[in-house]
Structure 1
Amino acid sequence: MSIHPHHQPAPTPEQLQQQLAEAGLRATRQRLLILESLLVLPGHPTAEQVHQRVTGQLPSVSLGTVYKALDSFVAAGLTRRVASAEGSRRRYDADCTEHHHLVCADTQEIIDYCDPQLDELIRGFFAAKGLPGFQAHSFSLHVTGSRVADPPTADSAQQSA
């Protein structure tokens, strides 16, 4: 089980060009900046956050261009759309590995969560139940809640005694 932040160092222009080429997309300056922004912005950014970062480097890029590029990245498998706690804003996740999302209803923060045991339980559940007329390829659990203070562990209780 692990909770991990979504923040990476800036990829090189060559790495960005390679990702776009492998996805079958042309490496335009706009797409390169949008993909880079998506990869380096913390958390699960909105199109508006990506647009704000991109226009700092290329002011002529419209919000519509950002949405179109992000949609093409989703279609090509470079990113995923993530439901947000507020529901109305699309957020994006550049991490396409299997993981789940914990959404804080208070702060709107989306936290990546990995747990192979949970994944196995979900696979087993659907294998046992079956899905008539449907073949599942992947899954992502979305859990909404609130952050709470970490409970003291036995070790920390002994240290404070």
Structure 2
Amino acid sequence: MSNDRATQLEDALREAGVRITRQRAALLAVLAACDDHPDAAELHRRAEAAGAGVSLATVYRTLTTLQAQGVIDKLEFQGEPARWEPADQQHHDHMIDVETGQVIEFTNDRIERLQAEVAAEMGYEIVHHRLELYVRRRTRR
């Protein structure tokens, strides 16, 4: 999926009129290979480790353009820098470990049904939603 995703990201930048430099191509390869929810600084660090020589400003500009093109989503969790994920994923929710910062994706049919029921009881239908649970591991007793 990473090559397909990299091509999709590259196409989105081209459609926005952005030139694909060697640095941007390297950044897109890093972004396409992500299976987590990195922030811009982490993407910059990974691109630098891959020898991209890309500036942090270019990372931010590229992410903003990709978001505007609808191919990545910006996740803004309480008290954390913005994180990023592909926009082409099926719906899921997030749990954020408040001690480690780890972001865990999950889906739960009961929660989805309950949200739809609550909205319907109030005379609405859900058009879009995002659920974030801030969690901490339980200590064993």
Instruction: Report the Cα distance in structure 2 between the residues aligned to 1:100 and 1:82, rounded to whole angstroms.
Output: 11
Deviation string, structure 1 residues 97-153 (Cα, Å, up to 9, x no partner): 21100011111111001112311221222232246xxx8532110000102369xxx
Match of 2:137? Answer: 147
Counterpart in the other structure of 1:79: 72
Q: Pick one of 77, 87, 90 that aligns with 2:82.
A: 90
Equivalent residue, structure 2, for 1:62: 55
Structure 1: give runs of 5+ residues left out of the alignment: 1-8, 151-161
DSSP-derived class of the 1:44 partner: coil
CA distance in 2, matches of 1:31, 1:110: 26
Residue 22 of structure 1 and its aligned partner are, at CA, apart by: 5.8
Instruction: Select the structure of larger CA radius of gyration.
Output: 1
Any conservation in 1 of the 2:9–2:28 contact (CA below 8 Å)? no
SS in 2 for 1:138: coil
Normalized against structure 2, the TM-score is what?
A: 0.77
Higher relative contact order, structure no. (Cα contacts within 8 Å, ≥ 6 residues apart) = 1
The aligned counterpart of 1:28 is 20
Partners in 2 of 1:63 and 1:19 — Cα distance? 18
Q: Please state if 1:43 is matched with 2:36.
A: yes
User: What is the distance in 1 between the residues matched to 2:102 and 2:122?
Assistant: 33
- Counterpart in 2 of 1:114? 107
Displaced runs of 4+ in structure 1, greater than 6 A?
none
Give the percent of matched residue pairs that are identical in Structure 1 and Structure 2.
22
Q: Distance in 2 between matches of 1:115 and 1:27?
A: 41
Is this contact kept in 2: 1:46–1:89, CA < 8 A? Answer: yes
Correspondence 1:16 to 2:6:
yes
Aligned residues: 135
Amino acid corresponding to residue 95 of structure 2 in structure 1: L
State how far apart, in whole Å, the 2-side matches of 1:67 and 1:98 are. 25
Distance 1:113 1:145, change over 3 A: same
1:103–1:111 Cα contact (<8 Å) kept: yes
